A = this chain, B = another copy of it.
Amino acid sequence: MARRRQTVTIKHVAADAGVSLQTVSRVINNEPNVRPEMQERVREAIARLGYVPSIAAQRMSGSRSYLILALNDRDRTIADWRARQGSDWVDQMLLGGMLQCAEHGYRMIFELVDTHNDHVERELLAAIAALQPDGVVLTPPHSDNPLIVGVLARQNIPFARIGSLGRGGGIPLIMDDEGSARKATQALIELGHRRIGFIAGNAEYSLSQWRVDGWRAAMADAGLPTDGLLAASDFSFATGTSAARTLLGQAERPTAIIASNDQTALASLDVAHALGLAVPDDLSLISFDNTPVVRFARPALSAVDQPVAETVARAVDLIIAAQRDGTVPAAPVVVPAGLVLRESVAPPRG
């Protein structure tokens, strides 16, 4: 159908301003060696004609594409969308990433990629070949996928790795998982809790281990044992239920539980109800993520607030800086997380 051409091109601007294409191009790209009066004349022509460069043409001639690719795990993301449990990870990514891209005149393209697939490399290379992005934002578990990291490193594309400290290239950013697990644990200890259980998350995500580490460190600092207080999950409600049952089924059960995400925290709340335990009087509960649902739970759940938007915004800034002048942070970027205390936390009974 209707083959559309650019309505206003650099040629029109050049003609209108009475200069060469080159001068216009220089002005667009803020290059030196243009007299102020020329600048002025060109800018006026651009404004008058409503000219906006075609990113396709810019990319074609070897310049930037002004596109940043944000990659999420396909299965998990689609499952979250379908479940409609209120997980707003994607929204927070967009909030931070898309708006920050816009600040720099870039666009964020959101894509889903299968992590558990031998075609990952092909899939990713195809996206790169088709879009020619100037940078890529990786989220867990992709951030630690050696195949993905390898492709990006070899292609020499600046990329951020959210939730990873891995080596092998890219800019690592973490949301201070260890620190916030520690903070949550300390908050409970200060309330008088001594037996604080922890439900670990999917081991495929490095951050799961960091959270466990933070909890363990805080317990050790306070001279408290952790035996029998750690249970595993894969972040799902079902495995959270088993984990909570294990923890709460013991003779000497914990008076508080920290769960590695909201789903396992909600599962713990359910198990507590089933066992006739009152929250927070018999059991205090803190979760990770602070997605919308925890506010609507009864009682409302306390939670570590993951600064997703802020972290992705930082990632975008760093990617753009990297592709402009090759600068990357010397050390991993640590974005501090908050702890939101709600009704689910109280001193232990008795």
CB contact list, A123-177 vs B, under 8 A: 125-126, 129-132, 155-158
Of B158, B296, B322, which contacts A297 at CB under 8 A? B296
A129 near B7 with CB under 8 A, answer yes
Give complex CA distance A99, B86 in Å: 20
Is there a chain B Cβ closer than 8 Å to A26's Cβ? no
Give complex CA distance A129, B54 in Å: 6
A62 near B8 with CB under 8 A, answer no
CB distance from A333 to the nearest CB of B (A): 20
Give complex CA distance A129, B84 in Å: 36
On chain B, the residues within 8 Å of A6 by CB distance are 129, 132
CB distance from A342 to the nearest CB of B (A): 14
Is there a chain B Cβ closer than 8 Å to A273's Cβ? no
B130 near A5 with CB under 8 A, answer no
Give complex CA distance A122, B50 in Å: 8
Is there a chain B Cβ closer than 8 Å to A220's Cβ? no
A52 near B90 with CB under 8 A, answer no
Is there a chain B Cβ closer than 8 Å to A65's Cβ? yes
On chain B, the residues within 8 Å of A56 by CB distance are 55-57, 59-60, 65, 132
CB distance from A52 to the nearest CB of B (A): 4
Question: Given that A129-B7, A293-B292 are known contacts, is A1 also in contact with B81, CB under 8 Å in the complex?
Answer: no
Chain A residues with a Cβ closer than 8 Å to the other chain, count? 66
B91 near A54 with CB under 8 A, answer no
CB distance from A58 to the nearest CB of B (A): 8
Residue in chain B with minimal CB distance to A293: B296
Of B5, B92, B156, which contacts A62 at CB under 8 A? B5
Residue in chain B with minimal CB distance to A81: B95
Residue in chain B with minimal CB distance to A78: B95
Give complex CA distance A297, B295 in Å: 10
On chain B, the residues within 8 Å of A118 by CB distance are none
Q: Which of A106-114, A205-213, A232-240, A251-259 contacts B (4 or more CB under 8 A)?
A: A106-114
CB contact list, A179-234 vs B, under 8 A: none
Is there a chain B Cβ closer than 8 Å to A326's Cβ? yes
Is there a chain B Cβ closer than 8 Å to A324's Cβ? yes
B323 near A1 with CB under 8 A, answer yes
B293 near A86 with CB under 8 A, answer yes
B57 near A60 with CB under 8 A, answer yes
On chain B, the residues within 8 Å of A243 by CB distance are none
On chain B, the residues within 8 Å of A122 by CB distance are 50
Is there a chain B Cβ closer than 8 Å to A82's Cβ? yes
Q: Using an 8 Å CB-CB cutoff, how does the interface string of A66-105 with B read, 1 for contact, 0 for none? A: 1000000000001011101110101110110011000000
On chain B, the residues within 8 Å of A4 by CB distance are 132, 155-157
Give complex CA distance A295, B293 in Å: 10
CB distance from A105 to the nearest CB of B (A): 9
Is there a chain B Cβ closer than 8 Å to A330's Cβ? no
A: which residues have CB within 8 A of B? Answer: 1-8, 50-57, 59-60, 62-63, 65-66, 78, 80-82, 84-86, 88, 90-92, 94-95, 98-99, 107, 109-112, 122, 125-126, 129-132, 155-158, 291-293, 295-298, 309, 322-326
List 6 A–B pairs whose Cβ atoms lie within 8 Å, in order of A's numbering.
A2-B156, A5-B62, A55-B56, A56-B132, A78-B95, A86-B88
